[in-house]
């Protein structure tokens, strides 16, 4: 490897990048946009679901209980219904996610509640089960103690299990999503940019000139990929700054660990991009391949759905993806103040991934046209 040549390729790449307005905008735009989108949109603590109330009792107590439910802010009662048929229709049309039904004999049922096992429950909440998260949000209303609501003197039933929430006591979703987002954004941009940058050279015919010069494939690959390492670190910084400033995401661990983990992950993503570039014949193909690897990563890495909840084969598959390991690393460091030493298996897994990907890529690269 000749350093003068390597440096020349890096400089050339940066100059081209500076003139490529779209890519340049994507480097800053994708992290910012995704952070705001995911930060605000992904919220498992759901409130203000559109709902209807079907009060067939029409008593002071029934109104009181409806007011109490409204106070939890989980449901917004946009509709007051007269018949169960109306309820069916609104639910089917998707205008409401839930409905509270107060039966005509509400008070009698409430008084009898708990005295006889065959009793019918005093209150019914109908939920749109087509959305799992809505289902879960409404389920918490089932735990609402009804009697104390009506009679302040009655004592609340003692809780049997106390849940102590470490690391995210206020249960704010961005605290979980933002660290993971660093992984999503890096995967998206790093894999895509490198795969496309390397294929572009071939597609535009530059490669035919280059391979007739003393440039080696390693110099070319490393030189083209190096600028993206810097860009990746800029993106990490951007997401961290915005995450801390806008979503008050804590950085409990050491900042240096955050950057080392990110750096290793960036290199792993670049290695994947380099590998994909050896498969693709055009920039369009490179883009398709990048998205093909992106989707399973985002779904199985634990960013969206908990790793522990996945079936075994999905977990094995997830272990291959660099993003799975980075999710554990970055959440561990940022939220649990874990050190790299605590998380070494994931760091090692990324290392193995890098070696394997680059190995295959280099073996597939020839300095010839055929």
Partner 1 sequence: MPSAPSALPAFGHLPLQAGEGKTAAIVARGLTRTFGKVTAVDHINLTVARAQVYGFLGPNGSGKSTTIRMLCGLLLPSAGTIDVLGYKIPQQAEALKRRIGYMTQKFSLYDDLTVRENLEFVAAVHELDRAQSGTRVAELLDLYWLGDQRDQLAGTLSGGQKQRLALAAAVLHKPELLLLDEPTSAVDPQSRREFWDSLFALTDAGTTILVSTHYMDEAERCHRLAILDRGHLVADGTPHELEDALPGQVLLIDCANPRAAQDALAHLPGISATAQIGASLRVLGDDSADLQSRIVANLRTAGIDARVETTRPNLEDVFVAATRGATSADRHA
Q: How far is the CB of 7 from partner 1 (least distance, A)?
A: 7
Q: How far is the CB of 6 from partner 1 (least distance, A)?
A: 9
For 167-282, where are the alpha helices, taking DSSP H only?
173-186, 192-203, 206-210, 217-247, 255-279
Binding track, positions 253-282, relative to partner 1; x by CB under 8 A: ------------------------------
Instruction: Report the alpha-carbon distance of residue 317 to residue 295 in Å, rounded.
Output: 13
Q: How far is the CB of 197 from partner 1 (least distance, A)?
A: 12
**At 71, phi and psi to the nearest 5?**
-65, -25
Q: How far is the CB of 16 from partner 1 (least distance, A)?
A: 5
DSSP single-letter state for residue 156: P
Residue 205, classed as helix, strand or coil, is: coil
According to the binding rule CB under 8 A, does residue 216 interact with partner 1?
yes
According to the binding rule CB under 8 A, does residue 21 interact with partner 1?
no
According to the binding rule CB under 8 A, does residue 215 interact with partner 1?
yes
Q: Of 252 and 366, which CB lies nearer to partner 1 in the complex structure? A: 366
Q: How far is the CB of 312 from partner 1 (least distance, A)?
A: 45
Residue 161, classed as helix, strand or coil, is: coil
Instruction: Report the alpha-carbon distance of residue 180 to residue 159 in Å, rounded.
Output: 33
According to the binding rule CB under 8 A, does residue 72 interact with partner 1?
no
Q: Of 2 and 124, which CB lies nearer to partner 1 in the complex structure? A: 2
Q: How far is the CB of 211 from partner 1 (least distance, A)?
A: 6
Q: Of 116 and 370, which CB lies nearer to partner 1 in the complex structure? A: 370
Instruction: Report the alpha-carbon distance of residue 43 to residue 36 in Å, rounded.
Output: 12
According to the binding rule CB under 8 A, does residue 205 interact with partner 1?
yes
According to the binding rule CB under 8 A, does residue 369 interact with partner 1?
yes
Binding partner 1 (rule: CB under 8 A), the pick from 124, 155, 206, 282 is 206
Residue 69, classed as helix, strand or coil, is: helix
Q: Of 220 and 240, which CB lies nearer to partner 1 in the complex structure? A: 220
Assigned token pair, 298: 């985002």
User: In the chain, helix, strand, coil percent, each to 5?
Assistant: 65, 5, 30
Find, among 26, 367, 366, the residue nearest to 196 by Cα: 26
Q: From 5-13, 47-55, 69-77, 272-280, give the range in contact with partner 1 by CB under 8 A.
A: 5-13
For 298-337, b/e burial (b = at least 16 CB within 10 A) is: bebbbbeeebeebeeeeeeebeebbbbbbbbbbbbbbbee
**At 321, phi and psi to the nearest 5?**
-75, 135
**Contact residues for 156 (Cβ-Cβ < 8 A; gap 6+):** 145, 148
According to the binding rule CB under 8 A, does residue 363 interact with partner 1?
no
Q: For the segment 294-323, give every residue that binds partner 1 (CB under 8 A).
A: none
Q: How far is the CB of 369 from partner 1 (least distance, A)?
A: 5
Contact by Cβ (8 Å): 266, 190: yes
Q: From 8-16, 111-119, 149-157, 294-302, give the range in contact with partner 1 by CB under 8 A.
A: 8-16
According to the binding rule CB under 8 A, does residue 162 interact with partner 1?
no
Q: From 88-96, 147-155, 212-220, 333-341, give the range in contact with partner 1 by CB under 8 A.
A: 212-220
Angle between helices 173-186 and 255-279 (to 10 degrees): 40
Q: For the segment 218-237, give every residue that binds partner 1 (CB under 8 A).
A: 218-219
According to the binding rule CB under 8 A, does residue 152 interact with partner 1?
no
Backbone torsion region of residue 121, taken as left when φ is above 0, otherwise alpha when ψ lies between -120 and 50, otherwise beta: beta
Task: Kindly determine how many residues on this chain lie close enough to bind partner 1 according to the rule CB under 8 A.
Answer: 32
Residues of this chain that bind partner 1 (CB under 8 A): 1-2, 4-5, 7-9, 11-12, 15-16, 19-20, 204-216, 218-219, 367-370
């Amino acid at each position: 490897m000749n350093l003068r040549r390597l440096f020349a390729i890096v400089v050339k790449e940066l100059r081209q990048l500076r003139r490529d307005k779209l890519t340049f905008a994507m480097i800053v735009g994708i992290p910012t946009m995704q952070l705001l989108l995911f930060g605000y949109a992904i919220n498992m603590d759901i409130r203000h679901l559109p709902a209807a109330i079907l009060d067939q009792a029409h008593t002071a107590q029934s109104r009181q209980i409806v007011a109490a439910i409204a106070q939890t802010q989980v449901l917004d009662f946009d509709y007051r219904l007269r018949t169960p048929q109306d309820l069916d229709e609104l639910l089917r049309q998707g205008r409401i996610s839930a409905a509270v039904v107060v039966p005509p004999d509400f008070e009698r049922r409430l008084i009898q509640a708990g005295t006889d096992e065959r009793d019918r429950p005093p209150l019914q909440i109908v939920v749109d089960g087509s959305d799992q998260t809505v289902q879960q949000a409404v389920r918490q209303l089932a735990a609402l103690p009804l009697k104390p609501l009506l009679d302040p003197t009655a004592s609340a039933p003692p809780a049997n299990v106390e849940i102590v929430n470490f690391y995210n006591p206020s249960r704010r979703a961005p605290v979980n999503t933002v660290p993971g987002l660093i992984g999503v954004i890096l995967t998206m941009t790093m894999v895509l940019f490198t795969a496309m940058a390397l294929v572009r050279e071939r597609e535009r015919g530059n490669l035919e000139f280059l391979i007739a010069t003393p440039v080696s494939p390693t110099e070319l690959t490393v030189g083209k990929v190096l600028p993206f390492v810097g860009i990746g670190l800029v993106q990490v910084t951007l997401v961290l700054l915005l995450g801390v400033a806008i979503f008050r995401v804590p950085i409990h661990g050491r900042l240096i660990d955050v950057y080392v983990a990110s750096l290793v992950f960036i290199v792993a993503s670049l290695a994947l991009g380099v590998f994909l570039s050896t498969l693709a014949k055009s920039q369009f193909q490179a883009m398709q391949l990048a998205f093909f690897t992106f989707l399973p990563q985002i779904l199985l890495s634990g960013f969206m759905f908990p790793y522990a909840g996945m079936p075994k084969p999905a977990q094995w598959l997830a272990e291959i993806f660099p993003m799975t390991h980075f999710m554990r690393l970055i959440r561990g460091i940022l939220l649990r103040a874990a050190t790299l030493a605590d998380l070494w298996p994931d760091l090692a897994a990324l290392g193995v991934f890098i070696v394997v990907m680059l190995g295959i890529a280099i073996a597939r690269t020839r300095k010839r046209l055929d």
